[in-house]
Amino acid sequence: MLNIVLFGPPGAGKGTQAEKLLKKYELVHLSTGEILRGEIAAQTPLGKEAQAFMDKGELVSDSVVINMIEGMIDENNSAKGFIFDGFPRTTAQAEALDKMLNAKKINISTMLALAVDDDELIKRLLHRGKESGRSDDQNESIIANRIKIYIKNTAPVIDFYDMQGKYTSIDGTGSVEEIYDRLCESIDKVK
């Protein structure tokens, strides 16, 4: 199996690149953000609970997303592998993911972290906010909060995978194609 953690701050291009990678490597895309937005659109109890956090750019609770991911892994038990996008986002989530994968005798192949500076992230997200309708793209203070939370709660996940020798930083600037080529080059080394 090929299991990739596609990591990076808000607006780094995780979703954009995941869409391309899953076709090439025939992987299942697990984006906690996408799943949560689906729950909000369907107005489920989980969606209603998550919405208040997402609108402010805060993280949803670890237990909610861990349960969601476990359910999705079980639903896709014949998959060739997974791309985890936007998960794990805290060290507790990374530990929980390792534990659940170990129990299923599978593991993370690599963690690829897209590196993009804050000015470019803000530019990309404000630009998308004009059309996306995503509540968390609508103004610079919510975007700044997402970046602040990324630095405080999410960036430490890098150390978790670095200690396992699985972390690679990828330049996330340039054209979508250029970044895709960099990712594929790294993936082909662990495949």
- Site for ligand AP5 (CB under 6 A): which residue of 1, 51, 53, 158? 53
Apex 175 CA angle, 169 and 178, nearest 5: 55
Residue type, 76: N
* Amino acid at site 83: I
Nearest Cα residue to 112 out of 166, 58, 163: 166
Considering the rule CB under 6 A, would residue 87 count as an interface residue with ligand AP5?
yes
Stretch binding ligand AP5 (CB under 6 A), from 20-28, 59-67, 70-78, 157-165: 59-67
Closest CA to 153 of 54, 51, 33, 58: 58
Q: Does 15 bind Mg ion (CB under 5 A)?
A: yes
In this chain, which stretch among 12-20, 43-51, 134-142, 176-184 interacts with Mg ion, using CB under 5 A? Answer: 12-20
First to last CA, the chain: 8
**Helical axes 91-103 vs 62-75, angle rounded to 10°:** 30
- How many Å apart are CA 106 and CA 99, to the nearest integer? 10
Count of beta carbons in the 10 Å neighbourhood of residue 101: 17
Q: Is 60 in the site for ligand AP5 (CB under 6 A)?
A: yes
Tell me how many residues contact Mg ion (CB under 5 A).
Answer: 2
Closest CA to 172 of 109, 132, 84, 112: 112
Question: In this complex, which beta carbon is closest to ligand AP5, that of residue 78 or of residue 173?
Answer: 173
Tokens linked to 53: 């956090």
- Complex with ligand AP5: residue 78 or 141, whichever CB lies closer: 141
Which x/- pattern, by CB under 6 A, does the window 94-123 give for ligand AP5? ------------------------------
Residue ranges of E strands in 40-157:
82-85, 110-115
Interaction between residue 151 and ligand AP5 (CB under 6 A): no
CB-nearer residue toward ligand AP5: 101 or 165: 101
The nearer residue to Mg ion, 151 or 164, going by C-beta atoms, is 151
User: Site residues (CB under 5 A) for Mg ion?
Assistant: 14-15
User: Site residues (CB under 6 A) for ligand AP5?
Assistant: 8, 10-16, 32-33, 36, 53-54, 57-60, 65, 86-87, 89, 93, 124, 128, 136, 146, 175-176, 179
